[in-house]
Structure 1
Amino acid sequence: MSIMKLIAASSTALLLFLCFIIAIEASVHDYKSQKFISKGNSFVVYGGSEGIYAPSTDFPGDSFIRFEKITLQRPKSASNSSSRVHAILFEVDDRETIGGSAYGGQRAVCCTQDLAKLGVCKQGEIIHRQSTKNPDWPQVLGVSLEVDESEATFSSRSVQITKTGMYSLYFIHCDPSLKDVVVVGKTIWKNPTGYLPGRMAPLMKFYGFMSLAFVILGIFWFGQYARFWKEVIPLQNCITLVITLGMFEMAFWYFDYGEFNKNGVRPIGITVWAVTFGTIRRTVSRLIILTVSMGYGVVRPTLGGITSKVIMLGATFFLATEVLELVENVGTISDLSGKARLFLVLPVALLDAFFILWIFNSLSATLNKLQARRMMAKLDIYRKFTNALVVAVVVSVGWICYELYFKANDAFNEHWQNAWIIPAGWQVLSFSVLFVICILWTPSQNTTRYAYSGEEDFDKDVTLTLIKPAPIPSDDIRSSDTRPLQGSNGLFNDDQEEEKTA
């Protein structure tokens, strides 16, 4: 009955996946009383960064950044002076056109007295110059806060994007007396295909393909499960759970990006569900691999005294991963935000390393005992399982090295168009490991030969005797050998012969 519920739920997810329609609009950055922060000799508010594609035959539509009702507000008590605030919009290749330095000194955004003497700029203004590669860029918009004015509003306008690139927006001023000024309003960033930031746009299509891959795997697995349901072992029930979680996770991620693309705002509810399903799937997958490595359900009925330790490790991994994923994804809009803090990444990495060490240590012990007891069918499947895990770990290490190399050589996100490959690679690797496990433990009429049988005492130590013991003599032989050795007076016959001789 439970399997029918799983199939029905999976079918519902597939139906929603096929019926979901993507609308094309843009990404919304809200500024809710954002305060200016001191950076060098200037004061800035970060307005956002996104990769934007220019319209083309591959990406038809409009690309723009729209300013809507962006207002500067300050308290009445601080309105006794006038000053100017700028909004600077630039592409990452033009970052050197913002700011300058006198005589090779420290780079400054606001014009200094030395630069003013050189005639480069006027003291107190923002230093910028036109790009040689991209005419009319950077875009600099300004608004003045006059004396006795507590508010000033940028004029609403749209900046058309004609070059594909990573664009950034900063609100900047050079007047320390404006320390209490805040920014209120929003900007809308539109790609030709919708609201999704350029780095995230390919992931929507990727999760669509991953949803389809999980559905195909689920159809195969559920078909075999229903066909040989009488032969199913507990391990295969766990694999069924992981497949179902994966189907829902991929579907929720697809819906998450689709809703983001439609409204320009990250849907918190769908994102939380996607993150939670993904975290549960990863936790359960690791626990299954660990318990299988220990021989649970295959060569031993329970985990014994270490059950609580396994559960504790799984719970800790779930909490650490859930927090990390929520910080990285919930509410994330900009292509440059969503970088989790180091203290959130480290616990997950350490727990993963502990999982790997425990898994391979358990596998080594299980393989040795299987070989000693000559359980050849189970030994063969465990060897294949071990080889698959070794390959997965090697690929994981290689992918980590590639990710570190990619990020080290992309400090300014100039390679944002390829950044989606990093999270996609981890998803593909996870699916590949699950696929191999499904192949090794596919439900069949011979499944029970891999299950634990009561005759096996796997936890009992196995000792190998180097010297073959002599066979135990039968009762007839033992009695015949005993009679001639002992006389009526209790002495051996040899001793009697010695006495006669003497």
Structure 2
Amino acid sequence: MSRFCESLSILVLLSVLFLCSEASVHDYRGEKFVGKGNAFVVHGGSEGIYSSISNQNDSSVAANGDSYIRFERVRFHRTKEYTNFSSWPIQAVVFEVEDRETIGGSAYGGQRAVCCTGDLAKLGACTEGQVIYRPSTTNSDWPQVFGISFNTDDEEASLPSRSIRITKTGMYNLYFIHCDPRLKEVVVEGKTIWKNPSGYLPGRMAPLKNFYGFMSLAFVLLGIFWFSQYARFWREVIPLQNCITIVITLGMLEMTLWYFDYAEFNETGVRPTGTTIWAVTFGTVKRTVARLIILMVSMGYGVVRPTLGGLTSKVVMLGSTFFLASEVLELIENVGAISDLSGKARLFLVLPVAVLDAFFILWIFTSLSATLNKLQAFLEKLISLYACLLVVIFDIMLHHARRMMIKLDMYRKFTNALAVAVIVSVGWICYELYFKSNDVYNEQWQNAWIIPAFWQVLSFSLLCVICALWAPSQNSLRCNFISLLPVASVPNRYSYSDDGSDEFDKDDTSLTLIKPSPISSKDVLGMPDARPVQGSNGVSNGDLEEDKTE
């Protein structure tokens, strides 16, 4: 299984490296026409474009205030055996999504067609063999339609190079269309360049550059707080805090890489494949580690159990599967994307990630419930024994009872924060489904960036909550693990264990003295002086306490 996953990852990575990574530069490499109704179509691109700005102070070439769609060396090829006739024209159709109804028509209210038929030609509405269109009600120059025909014996026909200036903000679509069924095996080559006033970023992606800049700053501020606490109390750091440090570092790297990815893309029009792959990989690793940390915290790792015991392999397997599914999805979605429209492949690839996320949530809340119940039961049993314990033992038990109360309160806050995050996530997913179902033609493209940005903000907020609850401090070791083991009798016998990971999952009916983690200097100074009290077995309580603290 591991070999299969590794081989699949290598194949996906190699295939991505050979993908065209140009986004605002739409490259056509032998694209074939597909039959749609009575027309044959190649989708040339769809992007949100802002209107041109006449006065722009920025002197850079990418941000000179002009918006346009430029055709460069767009050519159509047909095979030699189909060169014995002159063809109907192959046309480039550029229109804004609000003018989509101006493309196509029907005779006498019949079935709508893109290509002009003989019946419509007889009515004088159009020319047979060409695309049906009528001028927009808001701008008579739109949609833009122009084309080229094959002459007899010609194997290639080239569109004249031209630029279409964008004077109205909107979602623009480009289609290459022909109506000649004799043009078989015709392919498109060349490229078109789409540009916004501020650069080459597609309109939907343009706000994300500033967003990732702000998120980079937010992670830097969080990192300053966390690393200052980490350096200040490095002797008190527990393993769980090391994992949180890794997540913060990965988050800083991810946000920075995304910002530079969009910045270079905006300046050159070509998306840097290497930067994109690294940004995607760091982000996927961060999300995977973050989910595993939340799951391990919910199980009590580092706080009430030193290891995960037999669950380690299951946790690792779930994390590895989630990483692989997310990495494939993000690579296909981000590397080589050339339009503001999501492909059908995304819907197929997003399902495994959604199922794994649901499994994470179910396992997290199940583990949290078990951990909280154990902590509450242990605390109640601990309090019930106060009356029958000797004075010195009472002081030790009181000290650990306070630590248990701190842990219980911390887990309750963590559960509340996680519950709020899940409720908000479900609500946002419903909104996202509503948004996409009511925006079939991407007319709300200017607000689409909010959807991916929200998930980044939500995960960052949850990370801030975790950092606040588990920040390194002089009391960090008080939150280290405690093993809860049943004993033969209480209070006649007290025992310690080196590993309570497996026993933690059992239903304890009796209470043992907890194994303390290393006590900080503050705890040592705050402990009451032990008084030697002679026990029934001839051993003083002072000696007993010394044995327990070793």
Aligned to 2:466: 437
> Retained in 2: the 8 A contact 1:299–1:453?
yes
- Post-superposition shift, 1:137? 0.1
Distance in 2 (CA, whole Å) between partners of 1:82 and 1:244 is 63
Higher alpha-carbon deviation: 396-405 or 256-265: 256-265
Give the alignment partner of residue 51 of structure 1, picking from 48, 51, 59: 48
Aligned to 1:356: 361
Aligned to 1:346: 351
> Retained in 1: the 8 A contact 2:82–2:184?
no
> Retained in 2: the 8 A contact 1:267–1:331?
no
TM-score (norm 1): 0.85
> Retained in 2: the 8 A contact 1:203–1:424?
yes
Aligned to 1:63: 67
Distance in 2 (CA, whole Å) between partners of 1:252 and 1:278 is 10
Paired AA for residue 462 in structure 1: D
Paired AA for residue 472 in structure 2: P
Distance in 1 (CA, whole Å) between partners of 2:480 and 2:33 is 64
Distance in 1 (CA, whole Å) between partners of 2:180 and 2:506 is 78
1:159-211 deviations in whole A, cap 9, x for unaligned? 11000000000010001111211111111111000000000000000000001
1:29-81 deviations in whole A, cap 9, x for unaligned? 11111111111100011100110001247997111111111111112221111
> Retained in 2: the 8 A contact 1:265–1:333?
no
Give the alignment partner of residue 27 of structure 1, picking from 24, 29, 37: 24
- Post-superposition shift, 1:267? 1.6
Aligned to 1:312: 317
Aligned to 2:370: 365
- Post-superposition shift, 1:452? 1.0
Distance in 1 (CA, whole Å) between partners of 2:267 and 2:47 is 17
Give the alignment partner of residue 414 of structure 2, picking from 371, 377, 385: 385
Paired AA for residue 439 in structure 1: A
> Retained in 2: the 8 A contact 1:27–1:196?
yes
Distance in 1 (CA, whole Å) between partners of 2:225 and 2:117 is 69
Paired AA for residue 76 in structure 2: L
Gaps (5+ residues) in structure 2? 1-22, 57-62, 380-403, 484-495, 512-535, 538-550
Identity %: 74
- Post-superposition shift, 1:421? 0.3
- Post-superposition shift, 1:99? 0.4
3-state DSSP of counterpart to 2:149: strand
Distance in 1 (CA, whole Å) between partners of 2:406 and 2:98 is 61
3-state DSSP of counterpart to 1:34: strand
- Post-superposition shift, 1:223? 0.5
Distance in 2 (CA, whole Å) between partners of 1:397 and 1:353 is 11
Aligned to 1:23: none
1:185-242 deviations in whole A, cap 9, x for unaligned? 1111110000000000000000000011001101110100000000000000000000
Distance in 2 (CA, whole Å) between partners of 1:339 and 1:272 is 21
Paired AA for residue 116 in structure 2: C
Pairing 1:122-141 to 2, within 5 Å after superposition: 122-141=127-146
Distance in 1 (CA, whole Å) between partners of 2:266 and 2:64 is 15
3-state DSSP of counterpart to 1:359: helix
Which has the greater radius of gyration?
A: 1
1:73-104 deviations in whole A, cap 9, x for unaligned? 11222111111110000000100010011232
Aligned to 2:384: none
Aligned to 2:507: 461
CA distance 1:248–1:338, change in 2 (3 Å):
farther
Give the alignment partner of residue 79 of structure 2, picking from 60, 75, 79: 75
3-state DSSP of counterpart to 1:177: coil
1:309-362 deviations in whole A, cap 9, x for unaligned? 110000000001111111111111211145643221111000000000000000
Aligned to 2:439: 410
1:420 and 2:441 correspond: no
- Post-superposition shift, 1:251? 0.7
Aligned to 1:21: none
- Post-superposition shift, 1:398? 0.8
Pairing 1:71-150 to 2, within 5 Å after superposition: 71-83=75-87, 84-150=89-155
Q: How many aligned positions are there?
A: 443
1:41 and 2:62 correspond: no
3-state DSSP of counterpart to 2:138: coil
Distance in 1 (CA, whole Å) between partners of 2:482 and 2:474 is 16
3-state DSSP of counterpart to 1:373: helix
TM-score (norm 2): 0.78
CA distance 1:60–1:186, change in 2 (3 Å):
closer
> Retained in 2: the 8 A contact 1:34–1:182?
yes
Aligned to 2:488: none
3-state DSSP of counterpart to 1:308: helix
3-state DSSP of counterpart to 1:176: coil
3-state DSSP of counterpart to 2:182: helix
> Retained in 2: the 8 A contact 1:55–1:62?
yes
Distance in 2 (CA, whole Å) between partners of 1:337 and 1:49 is 10
> Retained in 1: the 8 A contact 2:329–2:350?
yes
- Post-superposition shift, 1:114? 2.5
